[in-house]
Amino acid sequence: MKQKRDNVYIWCTWLTKYITGESQCEFATWLKAHYKLDKRPSTFNSRKWNIDHTQLLHKHRDELEAQGYVVKLEDQNSFKMCYPKGITVSGKADIVGLVLNPNGTIVSGLVDDCKTGRPKDSDQVQVMLYMLFLPAYVKAYEGVRFDGNVIYNDSKVPIGWAEVDSSFKELVDALIKRIGADKPCRKVPSLGECRYCDLTKQDCPERME
C-alpha cells in the first residue's frame, strides 16, 4: 500500500536513465518520489551483486591509495540537498579520491563509481551527477573540480569535469522539477520498461506484463 511522503524524495540514481533516454516513463520515478511503495517481488540476486561490487570497490580503493589519493568510500560520500518546494535529492558516490596539499587543502579530486554489469551510458551520467552535486552541496568540496571514472572489471571510462557544463546542469534541473512537481509525469508503459519497474499493477494499472 502506498503512503504519501512528507516531502518529495529523489534518489539521484533514479534520474540517470531518463537523461540518456534508456527509460522514458518518468511516472514510475514520480510515484516513488511522492509515495513510499511496496516493491514487487524480485528475482535479483542482491547478495551476489553486493559481494562482486564490494570486491571491485576495494580493489579500486587500493589502487588509488597506492597512487597517493586519500580515499573516502560510500557512506562517507553521502549528500542531501534541498530544492525549492520541499524536494530533497540524495545520493552517495562509491569512491571519492582526493589529492591534498601538506596543509590538508584539496588540490584535486576524483569521483569514481564501480559497476559489475555491462557498460551503459547511464553509468557515466551517474558519475556526472556526483561531479555536479558534491562540490555544490558538500561544504568540504566547495570549489573543487572533480574528474570522474566509471570502473568496470576490465576497463574504465574517464569523464572530465568540463563535461558537467551548463546544458547538463539545466537538463538535470528541469528533470528534478518535473519529478518533484505535484502533477504526475507522463506514463509510457512498454514491455521493456515495465519488466524491470518496481511498480505493481495496483500502483500503475497500465503496467504491461
> Class for domain 3-194, per CATH?
alpha beta
| 28 close to 199: Cβ distance less than 8 angstroms | yes
Query: What is the residue extent of each domain of the chain?
Result: 3-194
Q: How do residues 50-102 score in pLDDT, each as one tens digit?
A: 999 999 999 999 999 999 999 999 999 999 999 888 899 999 999 999 999 99
Bridge-based pairing state of the strands 3-4 and 70-73 = unpaired
| 178 close to 31: Cβ distance less than 8 angstroms | no
The whole-chain average pLDDT of the chain stands at 94
Calpha distance 30→16 (Å, rounded): 14
Q: What is the DSSP letter of 12?
A: G
Tell whether the model's pLDDT for residue 45 goes beyond 90.
no
% the chain with pLDDT above 90: 89
Q: Which of 7-16, 77-86, 117-126, 180-189 has the lowest mean pLDDT?
A: 77-86
Q: How do residues 167-199 score in pLDDT, each as one tens digit?
A: 999 999 999 999 999 999 999 999 999 998 989
Question: pTM for the full model?
Answer: 0.94
